[in-house]
Amino acid sequence: MMAPRPLRALRAEWTKLRTLPSTGWLMLLAIAGTVSLGCAITGSLEYAHCESPCTLDLTKLSLAGVRLGQVGIVVLAVLTVTAEYSTRTIQPTLVAVPRRLLVVLGKLGVLAVLGVATGVLAVAGSLTAGRTMLPGNGFTAAHGFPALSLADDLTRRAAIGTVLYIGLITLLGAGLGLLLRDTAGALTGAFALLYGSPIVAMFVSDPRWQHRIDRFSPMDAGLTIQSTRNLAAEHIGPWAGLGVLSLYAAAAVIAGLIAFQLRDAG
Amino acid sequence: MEPRIEVRALRKRYRTTVAVDGLSFTVRAGEVTGFVGPNGAGKSTTMRLILGLDSPDEGDALVNGHPYRSLRTPLRQVGALLDASALHPGRRARDHLLWLAHSNGIGKRRVSEVLDQVGLASAARRRAGGFSLGMQQRLGIAAALLGDPPVLMFDEPANGLDPDGIVWIRGLMRSLAAEGRAVLVSSHLMGELEDTADHLIAVGRGRLIADTSVAKLLAAASKDRVEVATAQRAEATTVLANAGATVTVAGPETVVVEGLPGDRVSALLTEAAIPFSELRRHRASLEEAYMDLTRGAIEFAPETGAPATERSVR
Amino acid sequence: MTARESFPRLLLAEWTKLRSVSRWVITLLGAAALTIGLSYLAASGNKTNINEHADFVSGPHGEPVADAFYFVHQQITGDTTLTVRVASLTPEPARRAVRMGSDQMTKLEDPSPFAQPAAGIMIKDGTQPGSSYASVMLTAAQGVHMQWDFDADRKGSARSGARWLRLVRSGNTITGYESADGAAWQKIGTATPKNLPSTVEIGFYVSSPAAVYTTRGGGSSSVGDRPTSAQAAFDNVQLGSGGTWHGESIGDNDRLSEKGGVRGGGRVTEANGTYTVVGTGKIGPQPPDDDMLEAALIGVIAGLMALIAIGVLYATSEYRRGMIRTTFAATPRRGRVLAAKAIVLGTTSFLVGLVGVVGSFLLAIPILRKQGFTPPGFPRPSLMDDSVLRTLLLTAAFMAGVAVVGLAIGVLLRHSAAAITITIVLVLGPLIVGMILPGTSPKWLMYTTLAGGMATQRAKPPTITLAEPWAMIGPWAGIGVVAAWVAVTLGLAWWQLRTRDA
């Protein structure tokens, strides 16, 4: 008759997120950020300026906006957890659902779904924009650039991988939030983790070090799956890269979960 | 099983301070139990421990015979108002109750019912960020009532309420108890519990000071004192004191006589031809009774007496 | 009245607020520790072998230089005067874009006066590459210049076309002149080269620096160069004591290939007193692009993140529990509160940043020196060097500036998450986007966003041959961008504090 406890917890968390106006805005920000940076990049490409053989990876460039757009989803993930502490709604939450594991699973479940949904829309928007704009800039089938299409295996893999990437960084952000409980700390940590390593890689001149940093930085490794050309030049395999990101997300979530189980409600 | 809260040998320490120190008591059905003590005596901590928000270092707290964390639909068993300001300012009042309802499989209709019950129906669509302290308090009470639970806990429920609101919440608690529920109400002001509580649990520095019915407490505090209204206060005092009574001045024309039965007082005054307009048994206020109790707490806080309890427990 | 005069007391009050939150103090100390720690750890990620197979020679001060050209010269002793007319100078047209390997590369326009094809006259301490010299030259696009010892440059007239040039040696000084007609002479400058023995080589020369082609974007950069050549005609050659002219290619001839330049490094032919010279090569500073100081300050980015969080929280925490009402009740003039906060935070962050960068410098430089960052490619930096001091102070100022921008954005938005995100994105976003964007386009991002402040970490002049977009602008431009952001955001915050209710 009554829904089982995990479903009730999930539904409560969904209601919580759904009833905050910021949720929709942050998702919109993520989608708009991704698509608009993608448009800015694809719009600036001209076949005429690319001497043959032109080896541009149009799929990767069209989806590059996610590096900016992910900001919205990271903020959403972190805030969903840490705002419970800053507004102290963690009290009614745990009074209503005393099994903490259920609370966390409900939150992560809802966030992952929202993350994936955001990812689907952002990727669809970026690829559609690329598909529409690129032929106008000379990237036509006649020049060896068929329109971006999910029928192409590598493009499909890039699209699916990008959606998964967004889902995973949502979990990463939520895990950091659970661990640190503090908006400022968790956000700073998440951004440092995502953006810090590519910037450190810029500083570093030793190629072996650059290779290591690229392999183990969550953003670069995770987005390797966007590549559809010159795959040999990448530092890590496409699925292995998402695997690296999954490890980061899993580590954050597990550490957060343990902290959440052990500590008083706060 | 009869609804009840049982607390047994509960102990909780935060870093260097012991917030709750071996506390045991039972909250029974059909009564309003007042939970009193100065600020920092451990009342809120005890409530958090009962609700499983914090884990006790020792002892346990059972709600209807079970630890809170094992309850499958806790809101249907216990309604609690701990911190009424624990609201997301961006969420509408109704939505705040809605997610709580969803978490325990409670229908939407019940949300509207409790909003009506606490008088927030017209503000249901407003965001909680704009609520006054009193409105937040009403919303918190609505959340506690949501699952129609047999056990209720309110932490300082009168905070921020206007006089009308205070009258309302007293009536609400009395009626909840009259329906056979167990009601635990904490307060640091005795006046709030006057005429409301049936039973009293007093704590100081995390320990139990008293666990008694209000009637007994008042009777003990009233002892056999007699109140006399007379225009000749000084003469009356002399006569009664000579007869061995302790006389204290309680007003411009009132003295309280302790140590003599009422008929003896009446006879002595008549004998001395001192006119008096009224002679009745003195009834102590809850405030007085509590002060007597905390004076007894001196053994816990020998340095400075009762008021120090408040400071030293923090 | 007394309260109004007590701005120092307000500063003290704000300082007390900052230092009394133990979490912030820990974060501030953490910012310095993070800076030093990451710099220390990541320093081992930088390695160079530039001194092992150098494409430079050492100049008179031991610095890396390029010294290659075609020299028509003779030996002379004592004071002397050489006059020539450069009748024409024709540089080889360079292609704007070439293919190298799999990369499409575009020509890098280098505006340095040392990087121009030139025809001129020179007095040099022998023909050994890297030896002292002084010269006067007509460049292809930048008029007349006088240069000496690979780093000194005096600009003459901006004329092109035929030009008379003259060098006069008198003791240890050499004076350069130019003239349109050989009659009316204008002085350009006076040089005292480091080593000027009494017997020197004197003559006329042609140089033509290799064209540098770069590609950058997608997170990496590559650089390649192709030699070029230039041809010039000299006539009216007058030297006090007329010896025999002898043509010789100075410097490294191996770099001349079939792709450009001329075999053998150049040639000279003479007909009726007119010498036609073809030459190739560059005379000037040739520092490696890699910046040792920048490589020692990798940790700044980590410290910056912590300071942003502090800056924002220092503002937003006032709003969280309504403390701002207490603050404004104590000091009703809100602008002064903001000023006090900015000063306290800015000073504290500057000091924390300074500890961080000086610590990074002291710990990371020895590691870098072990990994090949040694003279002559990388002169040993000292804390007292102008460029080192400038870099460390400006970087600390950059960190302080970003913290204050965080504060101002925190006041504007009153929301920690939003303010932290926006500030971090303002710093990091343009860097990420700038890495992806091709060519010099990220320059404008650097001139307009807080990311430009990263340029303060470079001790070397701007370059576009590196992957990092902030290398494209100079350190003063970088700190200027940050200062502008501080001014604008503080101004907006001030305006909002005045107009909006607490």
pLDDT digits (tens, 9 = 90+) for B76-107: 999 999 998 899 999 999 999 999 999 999 99
Mean pLDDT computed over A226-249: 89
Under the banding of pLDDT at 50, 70 and 90, the label for residue C5 is low
pLDDT of residue B307: 37
State the smallest CA–CA distance between residue A10 and chain C in angstroms.
Answer: 25
Distance from CA of B230 to the nearest CA of A (A): 57
**How many other C-beta atoms are found inside a 10 Å radius of the C-beta of residue A21?**
11
Which of B103, B136, B153 to mutate to test binding with chain A, by most A CBs within 10 Å of its CB? B103
Interface check for A14 against chain C (CB to CB < 8 A): the answer is no
Burial of C111 (0-12, 13-18, 19+ CB in 10 A): exposed
Tell whether the model's pLDDT for residue B303 goes beyond 50. Answer: no
Residue B305 scores a pLDDT above 60: no
Q: pLDDT tens digits for A162-191?
A: 999 999 999 999 999 999 999 999 999 999
Q: Mean pLDDT, to the nearest integer, of B168-180? A: 93
CA max distance for chain A: 68
Averaged confidence pLDDT in chain B: 86
Does the pLDDT value for residue C83 go beyond 90? yes
What residues of A are in the B interface, CB distance below 8 Å? 2-3, 5, 8-9, 11-16, 19-22, 83, 87-99, 264-265
- C-alpha closest to that of B202 among B192, B214, B194, B191: B214
Bridge-based pairing state of the strands B5-14 and B17-27: antiparallel
Is C309–A184 a contact, with Cβ atoms under 8 angstroms apart? yes
Any C CB within 8 A of A52 CB = no
Q: Minimal Cα–Cα distance from A97 to chain C, Å?
A: 27
What the block records as the tokens of C166 is 């003259």
Put simply, the answer to whether C295 touches A203 (Cβ < 8 Å) is yes
Q: If you average pLDDT over residues B154-182, what whole number do you get?
A: 91
Confidence at residue B298, expressed as pLDDT on a 0 to 100 scale: 33
State the count of interchain CB pairs (< 8 A) between A and C.
111
Supply the mean pLDDT for chain C: 88
**For residue range C399-436, what is the model confidence (pLDDT) as tens digits?**
999 999 999 999 999 989 999 999 999 998 888 888 77
Token pair for B162: 């206007």
What confidence tens digit (pLDDT) does each residue in A63-104 have? 999 999 999 999 999 999 999 999 999 999 999 999 999 999
How far apart CA C42 and CA C208 sit, in angstroms, is: 39
A49 exposed, middle or buried (CB, 10 Å; 0-12, 13-18, 19+)? middle
Nearest chain A residue to B104 by CA: give it. A8
Phi (first) and psi of residue B302, to 5 degrees: -65, -25
pLDDT band at C101 (very low <50, low <70, confident <90, very high): low
What digits encode the pLDDT tens for the residues C316-370? 988 877 788 888 887 788 888 999 999 999 999 999 999 999 999 999 999 999 9
Task: Give pLDDT, residue B300.
Answer: 32
* Cα distance between residue C88 and residue B97, in whole Å: 89
DSSP state, residue C2: T
Q: How many CB pairs under 8 A join A and B?
A: 87
Q: Which of C76, C68, C140, C82 is nearest to C111 (CA)?
A: C140
Q: Given a contact as 3+ CB pairs under 8 Å, which chains touch C? A: A
Describe the strand order of the beta sheet including C64-67 as a list of residue ranges: C57-58, C64-67, C283-285
Label the pairing between strands B5-14 and B58-63: antiparallel
**pLDDT of residue C254 exceeding 90:** no
- C267 beta partners: C278
Note whether B100 contacts A12, CB cutoff 8 Å: yes
Report the alpha-carbon distance of residue B110 to residue B97 in Å, rounded.
Answer: 9
In the numeric block, which tokens belong to residue A178? 């659970």
Q: What percent of chain A has pLDDT over 70?
A: 98
Chain C residues touching residue A61 (CB < 8 angstroms)? 436
User: What is the predicted pLDDT for the residue at C85?
Assistant: 95
Compute the distance between CA of residue A1 and CA of residue B313 in angstroms, rounded to an integer: 48
Pair of tokens at residue A4:
């089982």
- Residue C454, CA distances (Å) to A225, A255, C45, C472 in order: 30, 34, 19, 10
Q: Which residues of B make CB contacts under 8 Å with A?
A: 48, 51-55, 68-75, 78, 80, 82-83, 85-92, 95-96, 98-100, 102-105, 143
Report pLDDT for B313: 33
Minimal Cα–Cα distance from B212 to chain A, Å?
A: 29
**C43: closest chain A residue by CA:** A204
All residues of chain A having their beta carbon less than 8 Å from the beta carbon of residue C288 are none
Cβ distance A89 to B87 less than 8 Å, yes or no, reads: yes
* Whole-number percent of chain C with pLDDT over 70: 94
HSE, side-chain direction, 13 A CA sphere, residue A251: 8
Token pair listed for B104: 């325990």
Q: Which residues of A touch C455 (CB under 8 A)?
A: none
C102-146 pLDDT, tens digit per residue, is: 566 778 788 889 999 999 999 999 999 999 999 999 998 899 999
Chain B hits for A95, CB-CB cut-off 8 Å, are 51, 53, 74-75, 78, 80, 82
In the prediction, which pLDDT does B297 show?
Answer: 39
Local structure of residue A146 (DSSP, 8 states): P
Least Cα separation, residue A179 to chain B (angstroms) = 17
Between B253 and B72, the higher pLDDT residue? B72
HSE-CB of C322 using CA atoms within 13 angstroms:
0
Question: Cβ(C177)–Cβ(C138) under 8 Å?
Answer: no
Check if the beta carbon of residue B225 is closer than 8 Å to that of residue B265.
no
Task: Give Dmax (Cα) for chain B.
Answer: 75
Name the DSSP letter for residue B52: T
Collect all residues of chain A within an 8 Å Cβ-Cβ radius of residue C423. Answer: none
Q: Above 60 in pLDDT, residue B306?
A: no
Cβ atoms within 10 Å, residue B8? 15
The reply to whether residue A200 touches residue C320, judged by beta carbons under 8 angstroms, is no
Q: Give CA separation, B19 vs B189, B205, B302, in Å.
A: 20, 7, 19
Task: Choose, out of A26, A91, A95, A264, the residue to mutate when testing the contact with B (most B CBs < 10 Å).
Answer: A95
State how far the Cα of C209 lies from the Cα of C225, in Å rounded to an integer: 10
User: So what's the pLDDT on residue C252?
Assistant: 67
C334 vs C360: CA distance, rounded Å: 38
**C-beta neighbour count of B303 within 10 angstroms:** 9
Minimal CA separation from C102 to chain A, in Å: 9
Residue C217: the pLDDT is 62
Contacts of C413 in chain A (CB under 8 A): none
Strand ranges for C140-184 from DSSP E: 144-148, 152-155, 163-170, 173-179
CA distances from C426 to A173, A182, C155, C493 (A): 20, 22, 40, 17
Nearest CB to B74: which of A13, A89, A98? A98
Who's near C479: CB < 8 A, 6+ residues apart? C394, C397, C398, C401, C453, C455, C456
User: What is the structure's pLDDT at B309?
Assistant: 35
Asked if the model's pLDDT at residue B160 lies above 90, the reply is no
Distance from CA of A171 to the nearest CA of C (A): 18
Are C424 and A78 a contacting pair at CB < 8 A? no
Instruction: Report which of residues C94 and C84 the model is more confident about.
Output: C84
Contact criterion met (CB < 8 Å) for B102 and A11: yes
Question: In chain B, what percentage of residues exceed pLDDT 90?
Answer: 50
Angle at which helices C22-43 and C334-370 pack, to 10 degrees?
30
Of B54, B70, B103, the CB nearest to A264: B54
Cβ contact C124:C148 at 8 Å: no
Residue of A20, A95, A265 with shortest CB distance to B90: A20
pLDDT, one tens digit per residue, over B220-235 is: 777 767 888 888 888 8
Asked if B4 contacts B26 with a C-beta cutoff of 8 angstroms, the reply is yes
Strands C97-100 and C103-108: antiparallel
Average pLDDT of the residues in C166-195: 94
Q: What is the C-alpha to C-alpha distance for residues B46 and B22, in angstroms, rounded to an integer?
A: 11
Residue from the list A15, A91, A96 with its beta carbon closest to the beta carbon of B82:
A91
Interface test with A, best of B57, B77, B102, B155 (most A CBs within 10 A): B102
Q: Test A183 with C290 for CB contact under 8 angstroms.
A: no
Chain C partners of A200 at a C-beta cutoff of 8 Å? 38, 42, 45, 298, 301
Lookup: tokens for B10: 């509960």
Query: Among A12-26, B112-126, B291-305, whose mean pLDDT is lowest?
Result: B291-305
Q: In the structure, do chain C and chain B come into contact, i.e. share 3 or more CB pairs under 8 Å? A: no
| Nearest CB to A200; choose among C298, C417, C433 | C298
CA pair distance B243, B240, nearest whole angstrom: 5
Instruction: Work out the minimum CA distance from A196 to partner chain C, whole angstroms.
Output: 7
Token pair, residue B80, equals: 């609690």
| CA distances from residue C264 to C155, C249, C255 in whole angstroms, order as listed | 31, 7, 10
Q: Find the helix or strand (DSSP H, E) in which B290 lies.
A: helix B286-296
The tokens for C415 are 């929301």
Which pair of structure tokens corresponds to residue C227? 């030699």
At C218, is the pLDDT very low, low, confident or very high (cuts 50, 70, 90)?
Answer: low
The least confident of B193-202, B295-304, C30-39 is B295-304
**Pair C27, C305: CB distance under 8 Å:** no
CA C225 to chain centre: 20
